[in-house]
């Protein structure tokens, strides 16, 4: 298995198209993540083994995406002390409300940082993992500063163009 500082886990390969922005955001910062399909319900032993060995394998943060019952992030968090970031996916029939509640309502002592449901979730999960790494990695911290400044400038450019239309 390749080594990386961040892992992305999903319950089904059908989730991957929605997670591609997460992967591409990490790659923009020079991090190629480990990406795996591991299910809390269908492959519980493998999911627990992955979480238990993650630190020894050089992983510093784990991103978990799941819809429906969305137990993946919680199961992973129960088997590691690494930061776990949950992405609740907006699957039918409840549009992600079920996944959001399953991901955000962890019992005390089993923390899962949770990002929003929808398009912003995967990108924000990547940025949260990068911010965690950036606490001790000045290169990533500098890239995050550049990212924030670029967002700032883009908004002001859009505002200026809008003002020219009025």
The per-residue pLDDT for range 105-115, each reduced to its tens digit, is: 999 999 999 99
At 90, the pLDDT band (50, 70, 90 cuts) reads very high
| pLDDT over 70 (residue 2) | no
Percent of the chain past pLDDT 90, that is, above it, reads: 98
Residues 146-152: what's their mean pLDDT?
98
The whole-number pLDDT of residue 29 equals: 97
Nearest to 19 by CA among 27, 82, 68: 27
Mean pLDDT, residues 94-104: 95
Residues in CB range of 150: below 8 A, 6 or more apart: none
- Listed residue (10, 11, 29, 30) closest to 145, CA to CA: 29
**What is the structure's pLDDT at 1?**
43
Its pTM surpasses 0.85: yes
Render the chain in DSSP notation, one character per residue: ----SEEEEES-GGGHHHHHHHHHHHHHTT---EEEE--TTTSHHHHHHHHHHTTTTT--EEEEEE-TT--HHHHHHHT-SS-EEEEE---TTTTTHHHHHHHH-PPTTS--EE--SSTHHHHHHHHHHHHHHHTT-HHHHHHHHHHHHHHHHHHHHHHHHHHHH-
Query: Which are the contacts of 109, defined by CB distance < 8 A and separation ≥ 6?
Result: none
State the average pLDDT over residues 78-98: 96
Half-sphere exposure for 65 (CA within 13 Å, toward CB): 33
Per-residue pLDDT reduced to its tens digit, 63-76 = 999 999 899 999 99
pLDDT-derived band at 25 (thresholds 50, 70, 90) equals very high
Residues 26-77: pLDDT tens digits? 999 999 999 999 999 999 999 999 999 999 999 999 999 999 989 999 999 9
């Amino acid at each position: 298995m390749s080594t990386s500082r961040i892992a992305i886990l999903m319950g089904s390969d059908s989730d991957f198209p929605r997670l591609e922005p997460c992967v591409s955001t990490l790659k923009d910062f020079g991090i190629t993540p480990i990406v795996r399909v591991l299910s809390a319900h269908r492959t519980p032993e493998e999911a627990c083994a992955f979480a238990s060995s993650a630190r020894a394998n050089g992983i510093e943060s784990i991103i978990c995406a799941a819809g429906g019952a969305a137990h993946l992030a919680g199961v992973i968090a129960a088997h590691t002390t690494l930061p776990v970031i949950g992405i609740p996916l907006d699957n039918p029939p409840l549009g992600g409300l079920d996944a959001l509640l399953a991901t955000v309502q962890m019992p005390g002592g089993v923390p899962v940082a949770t990002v929003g449901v929808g398009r912003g979730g995967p990108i924000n999960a990547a940025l949260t993992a990068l911010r965690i790494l950036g606490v001790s990695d000045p290169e990533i911290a500098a890239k995050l500063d550049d990212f924030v400044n670029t967002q700032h400038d883009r908004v002001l450019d859009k505002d200026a163009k809008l003002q020219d239309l009025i």
